[in-house]
Each structure stands twice: as C-alpha cells, then as structure tokens.
Amino acid sequence: MTAPGLTLLRQLLNGALPWQRTLHLAGIPQGRLRDDYTAAAHLAARRYPGLYPPGRLLSPPTWQPHLFAVGALIIYADCLADVPVHQHNRAVFDAWAEQVRQGLATGRAQQPFLRAFLHTAQVRPVAPSDVHDYLAGQVGRLGLTGYATEQDHHDNNERSNMPAARILLAACRVPPHPRNETASRLAFDAAQRWDDLADLADDLQRGLLTIPETDLLHFGVTRTDLEAGRDTPAVEALLADACGKARAAFHAAQAALDDADPAVQFLYRPVLMLLSQAMKGLEHQGAALLRPSPLWRFRLSPTQLIGDTLRTFHHRLHLT
C-alpha cells in the first residue's frame, strides 16, 4: 500500500477509536463529565442515526465530544420549538432557556447533555452571546405558521441557524473568518431548504407552511390546496420551484465550501453530500411531498458521491 494509502487507513482507524479513548484524546476529565458527554452522544445518535456513524468514523477524535454536545443542545431546543402551533408553550421553552443561561454563568446544570455543552463552552471559544442569540432565535419559531415572503424565510433562518453555526465552528476551533461564516450560512440554508421539503407534509399537519405566501400567489395555489394534498398542475409547479430553489442553495453552498478553510469543508461537505443525494429523491416526488413519509428517498449519483468522498478524506488528512 502506498504511503498516502497508509495515511488514509490510519486516519479512518483513528476515527473509529473506542468512545472512552476518544473522550481521553479530547481532554474530557474522567468521572461524571464523561458520562455527560456520553449522554449527549446518545441523544445525537437517537435523533440522527444515519449521521452518527459517519461522525464517529470520520471526525477527528478531539472534535467528537464537543460536536455531540453542541448537537445535543440544538436537538433538544429543536424538540421544544418544533411542536404543533396550537400546542406550543412559551413558558416551557423559557424555563429551559433560563437553565441554559444560568448554566453559562455558573457552569452547573441538571441535564447531563447540558452539563457537557457547558463544559464545551468553557474550554472552547464559544461566545455566550451566540448561545443567547441561538435561544432567542428558537423562541421566534414558537407558534410560527408560515412566511409572508422569501425574505421572511431568510431572516428567520438567519436568526435561528447562524448562531448555531457560529457555536459549531467555535466548538471545532475554526477561525471566525468571513469566508468560513459565508460557507456556514449557505450550508445551513441548503440543509434547511432540504428539511423544509422533507418535512413539508408533517409541518402542514402541525400548522406550519414553510413555502412563502408570495410563492403561493405566484403559482395560484392556496394553503388549503397543500393541506388537502391536491395534485394539480399549479401545485406541481409550486413544488418544482421550491425544489429548484433548494437545489440552487446546494450548488451555492458547495461552491462556497471550495473557498473555506479545510476544517469547514470537512465539517459540512459530508452532510451536504448525504442531503444532496436525498434532495434528488425529493425532486422526483412531485405532489407526493404533501403525503407524510418516514423514509428518506435517495437517488444516488455515484460520480458525485465518489468526488465528495475523496474531498472529505483530503480535508480529513489536513486536520491532524
């Protein structure tokens, strides 16, 4: 095997280290704190079982506990905010958000995954202001029923996603350069647009429509048409337009990644690679997007998968 091949093999084996060894390499002290990070990792694995194994295999061991701690915070906040419109309870979210704010000041918390996150916030350059902004952004999602315009959609994503992106980059000690923030913004936008389409039917049942009202007016479609799952030419055209915007967002994100630091490319490219394949499945569903489905529908592109995988390995080699 060639020297580059041996190096790549060592990197892959290193990424699959036992969890306790990973915690050690990341500098997590023995004792309850390791249990807290383990709880955070379990939370992330339960919510995103398809993303957890690649994260364990490919991510640098020094990143992994901190990535899962940030991920657990985001997942828990999302669960509190992502409830049917008529069931949302601002008081429940506010009470938990106050625990986070108090934890930032004291370093103490009751929830194990939150204790892990607070430790990450202490040992990594996470700005408390970004955590406060993130919580405020999630409050804006409570009771949300839809967007009047594309700008409203953009502004909401900016408030709810960009603080999370800054926290994520800080947890990986990525320099806060404008090119890195631009790549993060576009990557989160692409992922959000995929999520909007993948969850379109479920969101409608919860009382949320993520396609802006101006787009409905342009295509002559009503919210009732979508809620009823009507398969009409106008509905098909509307959904095709939404898919087109999402596909354009993926292209923009991938182009921006080419200019970002290797750590940023490594962080986002595997996720975009996976979601881009899932996006191909959504693009062929048409009005079936209005019917709930528990499955991700993939339409694999071997050329793109191979190219993005090689780029991921390339940037992985530059991180150690």
Q: What is the pLDDT of residue 311?
A: 55
Helix intervals (H) in 172-301: 178-198, 200-206, 213-219, 223-227, 233-257, 262-283
Longest dimension (CA), the chain: 61
Q: pLDDT grade, residue 8 (50/70/90)?
A: very low
Instruction: Specify the amino acid at residue 235.
Output: V
What the chain holds in terms of domains, given with CATH numbers, is: 1-173 (1.10.600.10), 177-320 (no CATH)
Checking if the pLDDT of 74 tops 60, the result is yes
Checking if the pLDDT of 264 tops 50, the result is yes
Q: pLDDT grade, residue 216 (50/70/90)?
A: very high
Contact 149, 217 (CB under 8 A): no
CA–centroid distance for 262 within its chain = 19
pTM for this entry: 0.85
Burial class for 169, CB neighbours closer than 10 Å (0-12, 13-18, 19+): buried
End-to-end, the C-alpha distance of the chain in Å comes to: 21
Segment 188-196 mean pLDDT = 95
Tokens representing residue 289 in the block: 């997007």
Contact 119, 33 (CB under 8 A): yes
CB contact set of 266 (below 8 Å; sequence gap of 6+): 58, 312, 315, 316, 318, 319
Contact 212, 149 (CB under 8 A): yes
Instruction: Specify the amino acid at residue 22.
Output: T
Segment 27-55 mean pLDDT = 92
Q: Residue 269: which of 283, 282, 258 has the closest Cα?
A: 258
Q: pLDDT grade, residue 57 (50/70/90)?
A: confident
Q: Cα dihedral angle (121, 124, 126, 127), rounded to 10 degrees?
A: 100
CA distance 154 to 302: 32
Checking if the pLDDT of 242 tops 80, the result is yes
Segment 30-38 mean pLDDT = 97
pLDDT tens readout for residues 77-133? 999 998 888 888 899 999 999 999 999 999 999 999 999 999 999 999 999 999 999
Percent over 90 (pLDDT), the chain: 72
pLDDT tens readout for residues 224-235? 999 999 999 999
Residue with tokens 């396609």: 211
